[in-house]
Amino acid sequence: MIFAMMILSLCACKSENSNNQDSAASAIDSVATTVVDSISTTDANTAKADNSAELLKSQLSPKVDKMLLVSENAINYRFSNDSRLKSKDPHTFWLVNHMMQMVATIESADDDLAWAIAVDKCVGVYNSRHGKKQLSTPDAMQAIEKLMEEHAAGSQADMNDASNICSVVSKFATTYEYCRLIGLVESDSKAIGMSDLYYNEFCQWWKIKEAANSLMSHLTYAAANYSMAPLEMATYIDNCYKNRQSELKSEKQLIATENWKSFKSELTDITAQKHDNLVNFFKSINTQHVADLFDAEVFGRDYAIEMAEEYFDLDKITKAGNQYASALSEWRSVREQIAQSLPEEKRESYREMTKQTHARLYKNLLELKTVKR
């Protein structure tokens, strides 16, 4: 199962401890009253953003170069020998191989950003190979999705591979949107003036996502042995990325433009405490808890316990739960820092966006509190 193996290879960053979980959680439920020290003027923020983005670019440059070097070894990726797929669109086929070769090396949030920058550079080479109309990076990703639609019409294995690649395209699109906000690929940071904060927000969101992926691998699908499991996993990841990408575009519109609209969250029933209680389930999981997730009428209690002991690594599940909890606390904190850095009239709308994303993260996590068989 190529896709499952890829997920397992994407290791979560070491989470930072936080002593502010309770206060950060209250920021989700009510308007925070603590003002962040030393909020700079807009002009100062913009200058700082420019400097921060350039410094981060410099720090990421060796990683980008390493990614590009790895991409030239694309013969290791399984599609490299797929002559049928290559004949359909040799240039997009080339881009797919390079993108997938690099994504398998990601082990940190910085790696993810470097990967997005490297893929963006590969699109430039892709255009020179194509020799026709120059495609933007988003258009090049659409060309990959179109090629995958044709590939998915084959066997179940082909469908699984295509869904895997499409989820990676969504991953790229979301990370690319973060790169734009931070100022790594375009100049959006000049309008926003908060590269440091959005870089920190990305790092915490990345840790949340990686912890959730680990829970999916070690709990939700750990005992899955049916052919569509990789497709289901890819679909879950794809939806998570697409949701965050849409949220980021709305955030940028609020932050960077004068023509903004007030925002009110549609998801109001998910409190910080409710989210924390769900995370605590994963942090304190045991064999009995796992057995409870099996369908008792179908499997029976004794069989469920036997399966729980055989297929599930409880240490890895609790580790992922702890990583999720720490990253969620830090994510709440940096979101409030961003809100406090905005003009006063925009702060409440941004906090409402945080509530919306927070509730959606809860719903995504709740989907993982199950066992697929």
Are the beta carbons of 68 and 119 closer than 8 angstroms?
no
Gyration radius of the chain's alpha carbons: 21
Q: Which two tokens stand for residue 6?
A: 């890829």
pLDDT at 299 over 60: yes
Do 204 and 325 contact (CB within 8 A), yes or no?
no
Averaged pLDDT for residues 155-160: 88
- If you average pLDDT over residues 317-324, what whole number do you get? 98
pLDDT tens digits, one per residue of 84-131: 777 888 889 889 989 999 999 999 999 999 999 999 999 998 888 876
Give the pLDDT of residue 90. Answer: 86
Domain locations along the chain: 9-38+194-226+267-373, 46-193
6 vs 105: CA distance, rounded Å: 9
Q: How confident is the model at residue 74 (pLDDT cuts 50, 70, 90)?
A: low
Q: Give CA–CA dist 265/267, Å, rounded.
A: 5
Bigger pLDDT: 92 or 133? 92
Please tell me the distance from the alpha carbon of residue 225 to that of residue 372, in angstroms, as a whole number. 9
Q: Give whichever of 3-12, 94-103, 359-368 has the largest mean pLDDT.
A: 359-368
Does position 351 have pLDDT exceeding 70, yes or no? yes
Start-to-end Cα distance in the chain? 15
Residue owning tokens 């006063």: 344
pLDDT at 84: 77
Q: What percentage of the chain carries pLDDT values higher than 70?
A: 81
What pLDDT band is residue 154 in, cutting at 50, 70 and 90? confident
pLDDT attached to residue 119: 95
Query: Does residue 40 have a pLDDT over 50?
Result: no
Q: Which own/partner pairs from 225-229 qualify as long-range (CB within 8 Å, at least 24 positions apart)? A: 225/373, 226/373, 227/156, 227/157, 227/160, 228/156, 228/160, 229/1, 229/4, 229/372
Residue 349 clears pLDDT 60, i.e. is over it: yes
Q: Which residue has the higher pLDDT, 205 or 79?
A: 205
pLDDT band at residue 48 under the 50/70/90 scheme: low
Contact 95, 122 (CB under 8 A): yes
Question: What tokens were used for 75?
Answer: 């013969």
Instruction: Identify the pLDDT of residue 150.
Output: 84
Mean pLDDT, rounded, for 22-44: 38
- The whole-number pLDDT of residue 174 equals 97
pLDDT at 368: 98
What are the pLDDT digits (tens) for 224-281? Answer: 989 999 999 999 999 999 999 999 999 999 988 888 999 999 888 899 999 999 999 9
Entry pTM: 0.83
Convert the pLDDT of each residue in 257-272 to its tens digit.
888 999 999 888 899 9
> In this predicted structure, what is the pLDDT of residue 267?
83
